[in-house]
């Protein structure tokens, strides 16, 4: 949960460089995956020095490497998506295998070449692994289908991690939405494309004005690491929630979503129904939507993706309100006249009385009776024995104040394939809205509080392949 920080602003600049050198096999990062495998012939003898090509089916472009002395090939820092692995060697049929790459996972494609004419192609398919067997960390991958269809109240990005091992919902108060292996929510780290989505004020996920981490419609994959993570993670000891954004492809694609929830779909609050007479069901209303569109600007080279999301809601919060009774307020005004209070003093008290009596639910209050509220807090003496013996001075009732809140996001991403060795993309995230910080049960119009909370995030991600065994990933991000 994010609390109001009306006088505080934060600007964060983050630069991350991940260099992978020979010997760092099965290398992947918080935003990338990897493809690896071994090439053998029909007798299971390794085939070294063979050219292996990895072609991006979604965005075009390809990279090449050669198998080493052990017949092993690897493509590090590979963007999540759909790929084709092509192996061609003299005297063998060409091998073509389709493989999916997931964030933080190594996809293995072991190739067995068949003797035959070079013009013949053998096609196979390989799925991305559900379990990462190439690293010690406990990680759970969520592909686009899971991100879009797992139950998620409010389209909150933190909810993606709820089904990962070691995650427990935080229901006992405190900060954050979930705990990891007993560690507090302030130990969790959230990143989008390698950029920290953290609020440095409380070290929590950087939720927007509605206290939700919106933007799920712009997320392609998520990976949750709960223990034993490598050096590419870190910062905190809790869950490492790495989110990878959607981008444009060679095909135009998009979607539109709308969700509504209101009073007619929800039962009354238990504390309202327990009253006598029963307090009616308060008005609530929630409208949430998302729409995206992406595609090629230049086929196989330049791509765009735009997403917009928003929410408008009114959610009442039931609470017990304590006020003076009508009898006490009447007695108060009479006493002011008796003691000869000035006209200004009487008017001031009258204004206060009007606020109490016009409060929603005041007329339904139940007096406590007795000396409660009629006793002087300093001397313990009952100020008015007649009130204490009769209607009493203090009453209580249930109220469900509510204040409208809203949030709007505009997210964009632009990808560029630069030659065969460089890929880069720029992503921006504009998040604005008004937080319903406090809804007052006495006079909502006069005493409620709301705050405007904008947030701006920008990141540049650049991947460069030096050769078949060395590559680099550079991330520069700025958040306000």
Q: In angstroms, rounded to a whole number, what is the distance separating the alpha carbons of residues 462 and 297?
A: 19
Do β-strands 195-196 and 189-192 pair in parallel, antiparallel, or remain unpaired? antiparallel
* Nearby residues of 77 by Cβ (< 8 Å), 6 or more positions away: 18, 20, 27, 28, 29, 32, 34, 463, 465, 471, 472, 473
Q: Domain boundary at 126, 160, 181, which?
A: 126
pLDDT score of 389: 81
Residue 454 tokens read as 């904008």
**Under 8 Å between Cβ of 328 and 393:** yes
pLDDT score of 115: 84
Q: In angstroms, rounded to a whole number, what is the distance separating the alpha carbons of residues 371 and 261?
A: 45
Do 297 and 409 sit in the same domain of this protein? yes
Q: Say whether 14 sits in a helix, a strand or coil.
A: strand
Do 291 and 420 sit in the same domain of this protein? yes
Do 231 and 376 sit in the same domain of this protein? no
pLDDT score of 357: 93
**Under 8 Å between Cβ of 447 and 415:** no
- Is residue 438 one of the residues assigned to a domain? yes
User: Which CATH number is 49's domain given?
Assistant: 2.60.40.10
Which residues constitute the domain of residue 159? 138-314+403-479
User: Which CATH number is 452's domain given?
Assistant: 2.170.130.10
Do 181 and 263 sit in the same domain of this protein? yes
pLDDT score of 6: 39
Do 267 and 303 sit in the same domain of this protein? yes
* Nearby residues of 115 by Cβ (< 8 Å), 6 or more positions away: 41, 42, 91, 92, 93
Q: Domain boundary at 83, 102, 126, which?
A: 126
CA nearest neighbour of 97 among 55, 47, 43: 55
- 16-48 confidence digits (pLDDT tens): 555 554 444 344 566 788 888 999 988 888 888
pLDDT score of 134: 58
Query: Which segments within 7-71 are labelled E, that is strand?
Result: 12-20, 33-40, 51-56, 62-66
- 219-275 confidence digits (pLDDT tens): 999 989 888 677 767 677 888 899 999 999 999 999 999 999 988 888 888 877 887
Q: Please identify every stretch of the chain with a pLDDT value under 70, giving residue numbers as ranges.
A: 1-30, 117-136, 172-174, 228, 232, 234, 377, 468
Domains identified in the chain, total number: 3
- Is residue 3 one of the residues assigned to a domain? no
Helix axes 343-357, 326-338, angle to 10 degrees: 180
Do 382 and 420 sit in the same domain of this protein? no
Do β-strands 449-452 and 422-438 pair in parallel, antiparallel, or remain unpaired? antiparallel
pLDDT score of 409: 96
- Is residue 49 one of the residues assigned to a domain? yes
Q: In angstroms, rounded to a whole number, what is the distance separating the alpha carbons of residues 469 and 480?
A: 37
Do 146 and 120 sit in the same domain of this protein? no
Q: In angstroms, rounded to a whole number, what is the distance separating the alpha carbons of residues 199 and 207?
A: 8
**Under 8 Å between Cβ of 48 and 68:** yes
pLDDT score of 216: 93
Q: In angstroms, rounded to a whole number, what is the distance separating the alpha carbons of residues 152 and 161?
A: 10
- 329-350 confidence digits (pLDDT tens): 998 898 888 888 899 999 999 9
CA separation (Å) from 218 to 146, 203, 245, 428, 477?
Answer: 14, 23, 6, 11, 18
The alpha carbon dihedral of 343, 345, 349, 351 has a sign of: positive
Q: What is the DSSP string of 56-87?
A: ETTT--EEEEE--TTSEEEEEEEPSEEEEEEE
Do 328 and 434 sit in the same domain of this protein? no
Do 188 and 233 sit in the same domain of this protein? yes
Do 291 and 161 sit in the same domain of this protein? yes
| Cα 100–Cα 24–Cα 96 angle in degrees, nearest 5 | 30
Q: In angstroms, rounded to a whole number, what is the distance separating the alpha carbons of residues 251 and 334?
A: 79
């Amino acid at each position: 949960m994010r609390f109001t920080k009306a006088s505080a602003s934060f600007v964060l600049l983050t630069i991350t460089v991940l260099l992978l050198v020979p010997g760092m096999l099965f290398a992947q990062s918080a935003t990338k995956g990897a493809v690896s495998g071994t090439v053998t012939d029909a007798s299971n003898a390794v085939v070294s020095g063979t050219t292996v090509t990895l072609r991006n089916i979604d965005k075009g472009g390809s990279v090449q490497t050669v198998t080493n002395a052990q017949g092993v090939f690897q493509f590090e820092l590979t963007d999540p998506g759909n790929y084709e692995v092509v192996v061609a060697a003299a005297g063998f049929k060409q091998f073509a295998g389709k493989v999916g790459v997931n964030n933080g996972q190594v996809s293995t494609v072991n190739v067995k070449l068949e003797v035959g004419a070079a013009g013949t192609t053998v096609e196979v398919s390989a799925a991305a692994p559900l379990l990462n067997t190439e690293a010690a960390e406990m990680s759970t991958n969520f592909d686009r289908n899971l991100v879009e269809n797992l139950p998620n109240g409010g389209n909150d990005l933190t909810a993606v991690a709820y089904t990962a091992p070691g995650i427990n919902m935080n229901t006992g108060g405190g900060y954050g939405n979930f705990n990891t292996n007993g560690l507090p929510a302030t130990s969790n780290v959230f990143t989008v494309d390698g950029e920290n989505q953290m609020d440095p004020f409380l070290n929590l996920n950087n939720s927007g004005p509605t206290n939700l981490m919106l933007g799920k419609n712009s997320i392609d994959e998520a990976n949750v690491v709960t223990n034993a993570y490598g050096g590419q993670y870190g910062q905190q000891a809790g869950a490492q929630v790495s989110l990878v954004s959607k981008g444009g492809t060679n095909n135009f694609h998009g979607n539109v979503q709308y969700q509504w929830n209101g009073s007619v779909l929800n039962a009354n609050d238990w504390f309202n129904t327990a009253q006598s007479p029963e307090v009616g069901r308060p008005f609530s209303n929630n409208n949430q939507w998302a729409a995206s569109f992406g595609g090629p600007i230049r086929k196989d080279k330049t791509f765009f993706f735009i997403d917009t999301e928003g929410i408008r809601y009114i959610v009442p919060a039931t609470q017990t309100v304590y006020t003076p009774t009508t009898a006490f307020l009447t007695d108060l005004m009479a006493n002011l006249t008796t003691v000869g209070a000035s006209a200004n003093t009487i008017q001031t008290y009258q204004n206060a009385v009007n606020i109490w009596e016009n409060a929603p639910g005041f007329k339904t209050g139940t007096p406590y009776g007795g000396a409660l509220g009629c006793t002087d807090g300093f001397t313990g003496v009952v100020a008015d024995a007649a009130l204490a013996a009769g209607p009493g001075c203090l009453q209580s009732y249930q109220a469900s104040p509510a204040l409208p809140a809203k949030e709007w996001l505009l997210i964009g991403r632009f990808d560029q394939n630069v030659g065969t060795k460089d890929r880069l993309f720029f992503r921006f995230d504009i998040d604005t809205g008004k937080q319903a910080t406090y809804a007052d049960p006495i006079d909502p119009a006069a005493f409620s509080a709301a705050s405007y909370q904008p947030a701006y995030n920008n990141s540049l991600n650049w991947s460069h392949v030096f050769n078949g065994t060395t590559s680099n990933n550079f991330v520069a991000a700025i958040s306000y």
